[in-house]
A = this chain, B = another copy of it.
Amino acid sequence: MALTPLQQEFVLHFGEMGSRWGINRTVGQIYALLFISSEPLNAETITEALGISRSNTSMGLKELQSWNLVRLKHFPGDRRDYFTTPDDLWEIVRTLVAERKKREIDPTLTKLRELEMQGPAGDDYAEARIAELRELIEMMTGFYAEMERLETERLVKLMTLGSRIAGLIDKTGGMIPSLTKRK
């Protein structure tokens, strides 16, 4: 499969950005290709389009699957696997955030709790700093857990409202009457 110049440039950009996102170039390119392709693609097509080895494609797809970033499709009479990305971009964002949290935040939270468990180490400053960090992360993951439940439409509205909500929270108490009344 030959790429159009537009596809080409898009794919190459995501390849380059890949390293900043903690995935490698190939994985970035594969994802970008699936993202801008209207039809599901099989491994052979991807291999050809990106000019990489078949095994590299296999590893890249495996990586993307471990991130839950691709969906598998099948066609009758064809036993090859075909891959796509979800149509809903918000679903993609949600997955991305969830996975990054799992890989980048959770292990640290676990480690911090573990360190606190070990009991007083006679290093007050370090202990205080660790506790503070753990509390911060817990607050943020708690907030995240709330947001996670929202479906796309509500999330969009929340983001649109952003500024107004922000302006409301004042230093004197942060209590919004219509908020505190309910529940």
Return chain B residues, CB-CB under 8 Å to A183. 164, 167
Instruction: Give Cα distance in the complex from A17 to B104, angstroms.
Output: 7
- A177 part of interface (Cβ distance < 8 Å): yes
Instruction: Give Cα distance in the complex from A160 to B136, angstroms.
Output: 12
**CB pair A168 B179 closer than 8 Å:** yes
Within the complex, the shortest CB–CB distance from A80 to chain B, in Å, comes to 22
Return chain B residues, CB-CB under 8 Å to A9. 111, 115
Copies of this protein, total: 2
**CB pair B126 A89 closer than 8 Å:** no
- Mask for A7-19, Cβ within 8 A of B = 1, else 0? 1011001100101
- A75 part of interface (Cβ distance < 8 Å): no
The 29 listed contacts between A and B (C-beta, < 8 Å) are A4-B121, A4-B123, A6-B118, A6-B121, A7-B126, A10-B115, A14-B108, A17-B108, A35-B129, A36-B123, A36-B129, A37-B125, A38-B125, A89-B132, A89-B133, A89-B136, A90-B136, A146-B162, A149-B166, A150-B169, A154-B171, A154-B174, A157-B174, A161-B176, A161-B179, A164-B179, A167-B182, A168-B182, A178-B178
Which of A's residues lie within 8 Å of B, judged by CB?
4-7, 9-10, 13-14, 17, 19-22, 35-38, 89-90, 93, 103-104, 107-108, 111, 115, 118, 121-123, 125-127, 129-130, 132-133, 136, 139-140, 142-143, 146-147, 149-150, 153-154, 156-171, 174, 176-180, 182-183
